[in-house]
Structure 1
């Protein structure tokens, strides 16, 4: 079973027994954003996010939405007390940076005694993700699944955090209060 690198302790800001929502960004390097939503906040934050969705839209996707909607979502994330961890990998694409990040996500789930991990569904990655997660989590109570963004609004948080982090500048500054830790994942 993998573990967090010795040099990385889990931040005290990361809630225990939370639900973890995971999305990636590959625009400038490879990152995974993990949004931790405390069990007691899941329904309220989900409801609040749905209210921010554009009329007729099935979900919020930061790559294709307006700056006004982005700001509203980031403000909600920060105000709701959601905590995020960023996993950054500088590994070359050919060395599969996702593997290290998914395994580190599992290690963080164990360290934080998470209830569940929900990953944004990408059918081309799902089989391998399940293999890595099973290898890391098979002797734990942590559940995991892949869901489509339109079926789980809390995935929008991970998407927002990942997009803002990769975008940098004012967007990173806006989301920074919700980011408790940045972990460099080695290949």
Structure 2
């Protein structure tokens, strides 16, 4: 199954999270339209951290209804946030190759995007010939499907009722530094 993957990050204390929304090609247009329909007039993107609690609940319930799958990679960032991120990016890339991923899209971090590129190329070089994976970094304003990852990872990291509400859209939680 060829899939597209949309990635965002979060950090809670010493835990680093990388969330990836896995979207089959047949669902791309439908989910983008559903996400854009949730914007207020003049609003350019959904960023869960900036939303008020009542709006968060409404947005989350609408997204859960639309049926996306978001996997979460989780590790300690006590040895540095960038190191934690690159561990997650490497594992995510490897897992995406197993899914025959077609496109990998990250929320851009400007000059730090080069770290991701290096990690992805390293994984692809080890599995040469297995994939035609295309990867890129874009601004989240330009790609609504990045908002899925943002919302899911915010809720999962917050725990409690937020994690419970988001649970139907969470596919797997991959813990890289736990047994």
Q: TM-score, normalised by structure 2?
A: 0.90
C-alpha separation in 1, matches of 2:168 and 2:39 = 22
State the match for 1:120 in structure 2.
Answer: 107
| 1:111 aligned onto 2:102 | no
Gaps of 5+ in 2: none
State the match for 2:143 in structure 1.
Answer: 152
Q: Trace 1:3-152 onto structure 2 (pairs within 5 A).
A: 16-28=1-13, 29-94=15-80, 96-138=83-125, 139=128, 140-152=131-143
Deviations 1:35-86 (A, max 9, x none): 1111101001101100101221110101111223322332233222211111
Offset at residue 91 of structure 1 (A): 4.1
State the match for 2:153 in structure 1.
Answer: 162
C-alpha separation in 2, matches of 1:113 and 1:73 = 30
Count of aligned pairs between the two proteins: 172
Query: Does structure 2 retain, via aligned residues, the 8 Å contact 1:49–1:73?
Result: no
Runs of 4+ in 1 over 4 A off after TM superposition: none
Secondary structure of the residue that 1:54 maps to in structure 2?
A: coil
C-alpha separation in 1, matches of 2:49 and 2:42 = 18
